[in-house]
Structure 1
Amino acid sequence: MREGAIENVPKIAQPALRHRVKIQIYQSVQETSSDEQCSIQYLCQLAGISRASYYKWIHRKPSRVDIEDARILPLIQAIADENNSLFGYQNMTYALNNNSDVKYNRKRIYRIMAINGIESHFRIDQRHSTYRKSTPQETKDNLLDRDFNAEAPNLKWGTDITELKYAGDKLYVSTILDLYDRYPVGVVVSRRNDTKLVHDTYFMAITLNQGATPLLHSDRGFQYTRKIFSRMLENDGLTQSMSRVGHCIDNGPVESFQGFIKDMAKVLFGKAHTYEEAAEIIYRTYEYYIYRYPQKRFHGKTAYQVRQEALTANTPEQYPIAPNRRIERFWERIEKSKAKHQAQAQQ
Structure 2
Amino acid sequence: MIVTEQKRENKTELAKKLGVCRSSLYYRAKRDELDEEMKKQILIVLGLNPSYGHKRIALEFKLNNKRIRRCMKKYGIKPYRRRAKSPRKKDDEGKPKSKWKNEIIAFCPVKQNIVWASDFTYIKFRGDFIYLATIIDIYTREIIGWNISTVHDTALVLGAIKHAIERTGKIPVYLHSDQGSEYDAKAYGAYVLGKGIIISMSHKSSPWENAFQESFYSQFKVDLGYVSRFQTVEELIEEIYQTIYYYNNERIHGS
Alignment of 1:60-209 (within 5 A): 73=38, 77=42, 79-80=44-45, 82-83=47-48, 85-96=50-61, 104=62, 108-117=63-72, 120-127=78-85, 128-133=87-92, 135=95, 139-145=99-105, 150-209=109-168
Out of 286, 298, 306, the position equivalent to 2:244 is 286
Distance across 2 between alignment mates of 1:136 and 1:280: 38
Q: Percent identity at matched positions?
A: 22
Contact 1:166 1:271 in 2 (8 A): no
What secondary structure, in the 3-state scheme, does the structure 2 residue paired with 1:171 have?
strand
What secondary structure, in the 3-state scheme, does the structure 2 residue paired with 1:152 have?
coil
Contact 1:137 1:226 in 2 (8 A): no
Out of 156, 164, 181, the position equivalent to 1:222 is 181
Out of 5, 8, 16, the position equivalent to 1:41 is 16
Q: 1:265-313: per-residue Cα shift (whole Å, max 9, x none)?
A: 125x65334433332221222122222212124xxxxxxxxxxxxxxxx
| TM-score w.r.t. length of structure 1 | 0.58
Out of 156, 170, 185, the position equivalent to 1:211 is 170
Q: CA deviation at 1:141?
A: 1.0
Q: CA deviation at 1:89?
A: 3.4
Distance across 2 between alignment mates of 1:266 and 1:74: 20
- RMSD, matched Cα: 3.4
Q: CA deviation at 1:221?
A: 0.5
Q: CA deviation at 1:84?
A: 5.9
Q: CA deviation at 1:179?
A: 1.4
Contact 1:92 1:109 in 2 (8 A): no
Q: CA deviation at 1:209?
A: 1.8
Distance across 2 between alignment mates of 1:289 and 1:171: 19
Distance across 2 between alignment mates of 1:249 and 1:198: 19
Cα separation, partners in 2 of 1:136 and 1:203, compared to 1, 3 Å: farther
Letter in 1 for 2:24: W
Distance across 2 between alignment mates of 1:224 and 1:263: 26
What secondary structure, in the 3-state scheme, does the structure 2 residue paired with 1:91 have?
helix
Distance across 1 between alignment mates of 2:50 and 2:167: 32
Distance across 2 between alignment mates of 1:153 and 1:258: 20
Letter in 2 for 1:89: H
Letter in 2 for 1:77: I
Contact 1:85 1:121 in 2 (8 A): yes
| TM-score w.r.t. length of structure 2 | 0.77
Distance across 1 between alignment mates of 2:109 and 2:54: 29
Distance across 1 between alignment mates of 2:181 and 2:169: 27
Structure 2: state its 5+ residue gaps. Answer: 1-6
Contact 1:160 1:176 in 2 (8 A): yes
Structure 1: state its 5+ residue gaps. Answer: 1-29, 45-49, 61-65, 97-103, 298-347
Distance across 2 between alignment mates of 1:125 and 1:182: 26
Q: 1:210-256: per-residue Cα shift (whole Å, max 9, x none)?
A: 23323211110111112332232222222211111111111122123
